[in-house]
Amino acid sequence: MSTTPPIPVGATAQPPAAPSDAERIARLRQPRMRPGRWIAEIGWRHVVGLAVVVFATFPLIYVLSASLNPGGTLTGSNALFREISIANYVDLLSDPRRPYARWFLNTMVVGVVTSVGTVFLGALAAYAFSRMRFTGRRIGLLSLLLVQMFPQLLAVVAIYLLMQGVGEVFPLLGLDSLAGLILVYLGGALGVNTYLMYGFFNTVPASIDEAAKIDGAGHARIFFTIILRLVAPILAVIGLLSFVGTTSEFVISSALLTSPENLTLAIGLFRYVSEETSTNYPVFAAGAVLAAIPVVALFLYLQRYIVAGLTAGSVK
């Protein structure tokens, strides 16, 4: 039983007393950990952490150095930041045969529209699987997971022939069309994304839905005004993953897009190192640095949602 005297009515609790001089001296006199023991228990962690940081950041630093090197070769970039110039960025943005600015805009349009559509369609499917009970619900969930086991590379030929047939009826949605490419990406919006959202939706108490239904709200109003606000972390995670995957996708976009003005960054930058000599590698590095800015900015903006969105849905 605690012996702490009760605080009188009207009185405020006093903050804990500061440590006395004797207590401070006793703490300073505590024996320090020996170097060997410190290395065995704590020091090796710092060494491993430093090695991981160097391993992860060196490629980024090297690419940035190559983009600022006016020499024109990657071998001249071995001495990091020996020469600094923006000539590669000027050449990148002023080449009329390779409209980098147009590629950048195409990539942002495709990435943003695809990520928003993926989040919306995945949220609708996850809400239906989580809140509604219907025949084939379990089979539908397993089917979505099973389809994702097969890589997109197996369907490139089928997608090409399908888009060729669609283009004969609707030219704006056929081959060499950004709208057609977006539709192809949205065709794979379900799957793992739905499973992640489904697990997160299950963490939201069903009593909230029941209270809203008592007040006369239907499924649409519950979904748009209540549920979407409560599951914002997983929506941010799915949007980020979809944006990163779409902007860096190469196989399907290279099969569907052919015109120089309709290319995305992944295809356009590849042409710098596939059709010319190695003198275009620094320009390629400059383009890679600019292409990474939106992804890094979006990641930093949504990083507070990443851990919560990926872990909350895995615990029931």
Q: Are residues 296 and 216 in the same domain?
A: yes
Tens digit of each residue's pLDDT (9 = 90 or more) over 152-191: 778 888 888 888 888 888 888 888 889 889 988 888 777 7
Where in the sequence is the domain holding 48, given as residue range(s)?
A: 35-91
Q: Are residues 127 and 50 in the same domain?
A: no
Q: Which distant-in-sequence residues (6+ apart) come within 8 Å of 49 by Cβ? A: none
Q: Are residues 78 and 106 in the same domain?
A: no
Q: For residues 186 and 184, give the distance between their C-alpha atoms in angstroms, rounded to a whole number.
A: 5
Q: What confidence score (pLDDT) does residue 108 get?
A: 93
Q: Are residues 59 and 113 in the same domain?
A: no
Which token pair is 272? 């710098």
Query: Which of 91, 110, 125 is at the close of a domain?
Result: 91
Q: Are residues 176 and 214 in the same domain?
A: yes
Query: Which of 48, 70, 91 is at the close of a domain?
Result: 91
pLDDT in tens, the chain (316 residues): 445 555 555 545 555 556 666 666 666 555 666 767 777 777 778 888 888 988 888 888 888 888 888 766 666 555 677 778 888 888 888 888 888 889 999 999 999 999 999 999 888 888 888 888 878 788 888 887 787 777 777 888 888 888 888 888 888 888 888 988 998 888 877 777 788 888 888 888 888 888 888 878 888 888 888 888 888 888 888 888 889 888 888 888 888 888 888 889 988 888 887 765 556 788 888 888 899 899 888 888 887 777 665 555 444 4
CB atoms within 10 A of CB 90: 12
Tens digit of each residue's pLDDT (9 = 90 or more) over 194-236: 888 888 888 888 888 888 888 788 888 888 888 888 888 888 8
Query: Which of 91, 112, 139 is at the close of a domain?
Result: 91
15 found inside a domain: no
292 found inside a domain: yes
Q: Are residues 247 and 263 in the same domain?
A: yes
Q: Are residues 82 and 101 in the same domain?
A: no
